[in-house]
Amino acid sequence: MPVVDVHTHVYPPAYTALLRSRTTVPYMRSFPDAPSAGERLVILPAEDTESTSRGRPIGPEYYDISQKLAFMDAHGIDVSVISLANPWLDWLPAGEAAETARVINDDVERMCAEHQGRLYAFGTLPLSAPAHEVVAEIKRLSGMKHMRGVIMGTSGLGSGLDDPALNPIWAAIEESKQLIFLHPHYGLPGDVYGPRANDYGHVLPLAMGFPLETTIAVTRMLLSGVWDRFQNLEVLLAHSGGTLPFLAGRIESCIAHDAHLKHEGKLEKRRDLWDILKKNIYLDAVVYADPGLKAAIEASGADRLLFGTDHPFFPPLDEGETEWLSVKSNSNAVKSVFQGDQKTADAIMGGNAVRILRLDD
């Protein structure tokens, strides 16, 4: 059974060139006053400070596909389903978004074709464009050989995933039977972390902000009836669904006890979160430890979990270190939880992805 990485990012040449041409967020560049800092990626307004440590350091592993393949070989990964990393194309002016999406998606498709059998991809949508242009790109992606779905952030068209304006886009994705890879980007407002948050690097926004962003976004989809209207819409949630597996029971209890929802008639004939977790939601296994993985299994089932690495983020910090702790933690959690059940472990490490994403077509 092949090992398949479904959560692995790349900034393809067309996208890298776009970011390097910019001077406002998002952008990619080196700073003359800090040449030793190397090239930096700045994707959030909060990162765009005058500090020489603005953004995050990046190297060729972010955009050179040969580096991706070398990483795969070093860690025993047979197939990667690559996707553009945040901030995707949500920030583009409406008139530029559709053409830019076509160029970038064609670039990614070319990369996959050049490494046949090793790379597949989630396409990127021009979500700042008019809805009919987004739908047109969804239909185009469904006819591309290596595309297996689309990646989206939690802001949707800018107003969240409970926005009714997304209905034609949900419908097009459902009709084309593509999977949505839902990934956080903005986290939570910085002030929730307290006045000393900057003392702790990126730990609080990454460890807390990203998972809670995902949980809130999916709960808004649930409350607005997205899965009642589009009962076959399938979503792969990054980072094992954030805190959703742990909080699903509390979310359902709060819904069941909400007088406003009862008065509005929204408690009648609705699908509950547990049903959606078992039928519409898949979770990646990017959770790094046994307890989180067990919660994901309890929530959605082992047949709906897919291995991932989040490469090229979370690289080793020590010079000369070649094994990525992030990869080791995720794979060891699968081995530990399914000790003695090699069949299920193999399914999570690759078999589920082959089935769900039709990688053997």
In tens, the pLDDT along 10-31 reads 999 999 999 999 999 999 988 8
Residue 50's pLDDT is 61
In this prediction, residue 51 carries a pLDDT of 57
Give the DSSP per-residue string, 162-191. Answer: T-GGGHHHHHHHHHTTPEEEE---S-S-GG
Structure confidence at residue 35 (pLDDT): 64
% of the chain beyond a pLDDT of 70: 98
What pLDDT was estimated at residue 36? 67
Compute the distance between CA of residue 31 and CA of residue 313 in angstroms, rounded to an integer.
21
Give one word for 51, left, alpha or beta, with left for phi > 0 and alpha for psi -120 to 50: beta
- What pLDDT is attached to residue 235? 98
Q: Give the end-to-end CA distance of the chain in Å, rounded to a whole number.
A: 15
Residue 248 clears pLDDT 90, i.e. is over it? yes
Cα separation, 30 vs 180, in Å, equals 34
Residue 16 · residue 58 · CB < 8 Å: no
pLDDT, tens digit, 9 for 90 and up, residues 303-344: 999 999 999 999 999 988 999 999 999 999 999 999 999 999
Higher pLDDT, 37 or 273: 273
Q: Across all residues in the chain, what is the average pLDDT? A: 95
Strand partners, 56: 41
- Taking only the tens place, the pLDDT of each residue in 91-102 is 999 999 999 999
Kindly tell me if the per-residue pLDDT of 202 is higher than 90.
Answer: no
pLDDT at 218: 98
> Mean pLDDT, to the nearest integer, of 292-313?
98
Question: 32-78 pLDDT, tens per residue?
Answer: 766 666 899 999 887 887 655 678 889 999 999 999 999 999 999 99
